[in-house]
Amino acid sequence: MEGAALFEMGTVFSGGADRVDERPSLGMGATGHAFGKQETDFYELKGTVEELLHKFAARSVYFDHFPAASGLMPAWLHPGRSARAVLDGATVAWFGHLHPAEAERRKLKQAIWIGEVWLDRLYKQELRQPAIEDLSRFQPVRRDFSVILPDSTAYAKLAGAIEGLAIPELRSFEAKEVLRDGKLAPPGHYSLLLGVVFQSHERTLREEEVQGWSQQVISALEALGGKLRS
C-alpha cells in the first residue's frame, strides 16, 4: 500500500465486568505516503491533531508523554513514539506509533500511526470565531524563511513566538514544507520552510519596513534554537 489516511467517529466502550464506560471518540490512522512524498511520521500525525485543536478557543494547549514504566500511556501505543494532547488542563487526545506487539498480532508490516480524540471533552470547548476583514487593495509581500530547528521545538511554540511579535502588517504565516531526510537537517533536527505574508490596508509597504519585520521573524526563530539554512 502506497499510503492511506483514515478517520472514524463513534462510541468507544471500555471497562470490565463491574463497570462499562462509553465515550464519543474520533479515531484516526495513517501509513505510507498518506500526506505527500515522504513517509508518514509522528510529526505528520501531531500536526493533524494540532490543526484540529486549533479550531477551538482554548486558553492553553500542550503535548507531553510519559515513560513506558509509568503505565499511563494507552497499551496500543508505542511508549517511546507517542504523546497526549492537553487542552485547558484536560487530556483530549492520545496519538503516536502503533505498539509493535499490536502490529505483530494483526500482521501489519508497514508503520502505522494512530490516534484517538476524546470528543466529549473537546465538545466542552467553544469554537474559535472566524475573523472577517476587508480585502486590501495594496499588494501583499511574501517572504520565505528556510530554517533548521530542533525536534523539541513544536510548531505551536513557533507560531506563538511569531504571533507574539504583534506586527500589524503580518497577515499570515504557514509551514510550507517540513523535511527530516538527514541531508538538509542533522539528527535531532528538522528543516522548515516558513512562508510569511506582510500587507497593509492603508498603503504600499516599503522594502526597509519588510526587511525590519523579516529580521524580527528571524530573531524569533533563532530564540527557539533555529538556524537559517544557507
**97, part of any domain:** yes
**Residue 6: helix, strand or coil by DSSP?**
strand
> Residue 35: which CATH number?
3.30.930.10
Is the pTM value of this prediction over 0.85?
A: no
Structural domain range at position 224: 141-228
Strands 112-118, 141-150: pairing kind? unpaired
| Same domain? 97 vs 201 | no
| Same domain? 182 vs 116 | no
CA distances from 97 to 29, 67, 92, 188 (A): 10, 15, 18, 18
- The count of structural domains within the chain is 2
Q: How does pLDDT run along the chain (230 residues), one tens digit per residue?
A: 578 899 999 999 887 778 888 999 999 999 988 876 678 888 888 989 998 998 998 888 888 888 877 888 899 999 888 999 999 889 999 999 999 999 999 999 889 999 999 999 999 999 988 777 678 899 999 999 999 999 888 887 888 899 999 999 999 988 888 887 667 788 888 888 999 999 999 999 999 999 999 999 999 999 999 999 87
CB neighbour class for 205 (10 Å; exposed up to 12, middle 13-18, buried from 19)? middle
> Residue 163: which CATH number?
3.30.70.380
| Same domain? 28 vs 116 | yes
Cell readout for 82 is 507517542
